[in-house]
Amino acid sequence: MADVFEKISKRRTFAIISHPDAGKTTLTEKLLLYGGVLGMAGSVKGKATAKHAVSDWMEIEKERGISVTSSVLQFSYGGFYVNILDTPGHQDFSEDTYRTLMAADCAVMVIDASKGVEAQTKKLFKVCVMRHIPIFTFINKLDREALDTFDLLDDIEKNLGMATCPINWPIGSGKRFKGVYDRNTKLIEVFSDTRKGTKTGKSEKLALDDDKLDSLLEYGQLDQLLEEIELQDGAGSPFDLDAVRAGELSPVFFGSALTNFGVQTFLEHFLQMTTEPLPRMSSEGLIDPMKETAFSAFVFKIQANMNKAHRDRIAFMRICSGEFKAGMEAWHVQGEKEVRLSQPTQMMAEKRTIIEEACGGDIIGIFDPGIYSIGDTITDSDRRFAYEGIPTFSPEHFARIRQADTMKRKQFMKGINQIAQEGAIQIFQELNTGMEEIIVGVVGVLQLDVLAYRLKNEYNVDIIMENLPYTTIRWIENEQIDLDRLSGTADMKKVKDLKGRPLLLFAHDWSVGMTIDRNEGLILSEFGKA
């Protein structure tokens, strides 16, 4: 197994998180360029003539210029094998981001240099802190006018409650952005202009006393740099690799993903600072990939119809320990049966490559005939332990939907069920009615737009949608309660979920307490059982 442990030690698996439009997807594209995966990076703007970002593979993403689902991207660089989990930035798709973070060993937080820490960044950061995973910060868009560097660092520390340590330091911003100063080597890296979408262009590393700097930097920039570095060295947090790996200190890098300033520097430092795949908590304690020989993995994402040529379902698995072999038999813990892991693939967004083997730290896709759910554990271990479940979020927006063409009921039900199994939506039906309408619940209202779009484009079904006033959902824990005799409020609706479990929808939060008071012994929960 020594050979497997050596392979695992070279795996690096991380998620990229940010507020919308901070440049996260652009940074992802440039990392792929340096990994030799792409010859030309894509645009993430919704222009008909633009080459779209690899990670934004859905048609609706290309049209709107936003990411609405997580993508898995893989490449090799400097002896490391890198798995990137590119996540949606928009809050309406945050549930997908949260699940994806469960499969990452660390996170790269992208911040717009002109805006600092934004609302969605704070939410995602809290999830990272909760999991104690290392967080690396890339302050992006230095090619535009930026906030003061000290103000940016202070903003991160105050808003996120984490100490920062700049690994490099920017020289100017906007049209005056000339490069970065490496605090470790004490060299200034200046860049020639790079063509957008390529990694062409030259960089040069110069000592602080090099005469060339007189012609490369603007008047006063060198003196300002020396003053700022002296101040940072005296008052800032020192670099501590153990603190970084414990999720207590965030290394900060500056650059411009659009023009490639500082991207390669960030990548090389990042790979050296990160650790091999981290241990995962299971029903039998921590499973350490550097000690555990048995294969184990968990499902963190399911996606249907990724490729129109295939029209199948893919279960994304994070391998936590051991070695995976194509076609191997494994134990599906939640399904309580042996399964054959067939058609294993590595991903480049929606593109797939059949693989023969993988190991701890890798992300792979497995053909899903409809048996897997998010959070499921797969292992070949005789111990048959289960990894911790992935948290679900209660829907906050609801709509009643039905197919416009009554002859397309079969396609409608297939589409709605498959999309629900991906975890993007939750579907419910009213109790004791013969109605054909289905109630859909989502975390973010834009998910309803995505649902309508996907039903039309992937299943050829137009739908009629009616928004509902409900904002709060509660599952009934003690299912022996007589639902017919349950006394609720005027704004309450009784429904059941996909597994037939009863729940209640409310238009007002205060109605929950009132309903509990009116029904002795009633136990309500914000979350449904897995």
Q: What is the pLDDT of residues 401-459, one digit of tens each?
A: 988 888 888 989 888 887 887 777 888 888 766 556 789 888 777 778 888 888 888 88
Mean pLDDT of 111-140: 83
Q: What is the pLDDT of residue 47?
A: 35
Token digits for 451?
């649902």
Lowest mean pLDDT among 41-50, 115-124, 459-468: 41-50
Give the global pTM.
0.76
**Residue 34 binned pLDDT confidence (cut-offs 50, 70, 90):** confident
Kindly report the backbone phi and psi dihedral angles of residue 264, in degrees, each rounded to the nearest multiple of 5, phi listed first. Answer: -65, -40
**Residue 225 binned pLDDT confidence (cut-offs 50, 70, 90):** very high
Lowest mean pLDDT among 133-147, 199-213, 316-330: 199-213
Average pLDDT of the residues of the chain? 82
Q: What is the pLDDT of residue 61?
A: 42
Cβ-based burial of 172 (10 A; exposed 0-12, middle 13-18, buried ≥19): middle
How far apart (Å, rounded) are the C-alpha atoms in residues 140 and 115?
Answer: 10
Residue 231 pLDDT exceeds 90: yes
120 and 57 together in one domain? yes
350 and 299 together in one domain? yes
With beta carbons less than 8 A apart as the criterion, state whether 400 and 279 touch.
no
Range of the domain at 137: 14-72+87-273
Q: What is the pLDDT of residue 226?
A: 93
**Residue 353 binned pLDDT confidence (cut-offs 50, 70, 90):** confident
Q: What is the DSSP string of 261-273?
A: BTHHHHHHHHHHH
241 and 95 together in one domain? yes
**Residue 352 binned pLDDT confidence (cut-offs 50, 70, 90):** low
> Domain holding 19: CATH number?
3.40.50.300
Count up the domains in the chain and report the number: 3
Mean pLDDT of 204-212: 89
Token digits for 13?
């698996």
In terms of phi and psi (left: phi > 0; alpha: psi -120 to 50; beta: otherwise), the region of 366 is beta
Cβ-based burial of 203 (10 A; exposed 0-12, middle 13-18, buried ≥19): middle
Residue 223 falls inside a structural domain? yes
Residue 129 falls inside a structural domain? yes
How far apart (Å, rounded) are the C-alpha atoms in residues 384 and 373?
Answer: 17
Residue 311 pLDDT exceeds 70: no
Q: What is the pLDDT of residue 348?
A: 52
371 and 461 together in one domain? no
